[in-house]
Structure 1
Amino acid sequence: MISVFCGIEAETRDHLFFDCGFARELRGDILTLCGVMRRVSSWDRELAWAVHCFKGKSLLVRVFKLVWAGHVYGIWKERNSRFFGGKVRLVGDVLKDIKEAVQIWLKGLAISSRVDLRNNSLCVNWGIA
């Protein structure tokens, strides 16, 4: 099956979630909001990076885990909306949904180290109170 995002490539797991321009842009925007400057790679490499970086209980790790799930779910939801409903949204719309989900998931979380510049930046970028 051909990707509903680009209409050119086969819809493989790698293409759908990380190689397609739509997914790559979304992932890049997510990484930027997390303060991470790195190129988006393949599914296997992104997963290996996640396994390496998603250890501990810091705010950054919590946000990483949430946005990983949000990225995969957002891409899958957008793919199905396009495929079954013919509705197309922009990357910014999907990112907005992910940001709202992160805000809901972290609502009420006591963020004790707001003095930490990285935590403060995460809170500002993701709209976490």
Structure 2
Amino acid sequence: MSVGRVVLVIRFEKQLNGDCGLCGTTLEDRDHLFLDCSFSRNVWSSVLQLCGWHMDVFNWVTELRLAIDMLKGGSLLTVILQLAYNSFIYFIWKEMSVWIFQSRHSSPQDIVQNIKESVKWRLMEKPLYRNSFVATSLCINWGLD
């Protein structure tokens, strides 16, 4: 268990064994929480499918490297993936916090819906150019009509 987590556990008098609160299978660490965990892997896989990418999800380090290498430019797909990646990190972390402090769980589908809403709100003010089949499909999948 990390030092920061121990401090939180002591402060809020919550007893934790260090296992992942999302899947309960192994000790939680950054790599596990963000993509080794079956819960977060399911969420990220669903996000990629919304973008039209049907591919395997790798571990945290590999996905981060892919994001750094591939998410450059200003296409609608790139912008959505950048926003979705940031939202994914936020909502997975938030889900873990809710589990720790409120003992509540959301489904992976709920988290995907939260990510969709976050992306939608961030793109609301921007002009969306539907100049290709890919852009049109993205707008439909993400509810940006």
TM-score bracket for this pair, using the shorter chain length: over 0.9
> Taking structure 1 as the reference length, what is the TM-score of the superposition?
0.95
Equivalents in 1 of 2:121, 2:39: separation in Å?
25
- Alignment match, 1:116: 132
Superposition map of 1:44-123 within 5 A: 44-112=61-129, 114-123=130-139
Aligned residues: 128
Deviation at 1:8, TM superposition (A): 2.1
Deviates more, 1:103-112 or 1:59-68: 103-112
Counterpart CA distance in 2 for 1:21 and 1:8 is 9
Partner of 2:142: 126
Q: Which has the larger radius of gyration?
A: 2
Q: CA deviation at 1:115?
A: 3.3
1:42-81 deviation per Cα after TM superposition (whole angstroms, max 9, x unaligned): 1110011101111101111100100000111110000110
After superposing on structure 2, the runs of 4+ consecutive aligned residues of structure 1 that deviate more than 6 Å are none
1:28 aligns with 2:45: yes
1:88-118 per-position Cα deviation (integer Å, ceiling 9, x unaligned): 1101111111111111000032122x13011
Measured in 1, the distance between the counterparts of 2:67 and 2:32 equals: 18
Structure 2: distance between partners of 1:9 and 1:86: 18
1:38 maps onto 2:30 in alignment: no
Distance 2:23 2:127 in 1: 42
Matched residue SS, 2:64 = helix
Aligned-residue sequence identity (percent) comes to: 36
Q: Shift in Å at residue 9 of structure 1? A: 0.6
Structure 2: gaps of 5 or more residues: 1-17
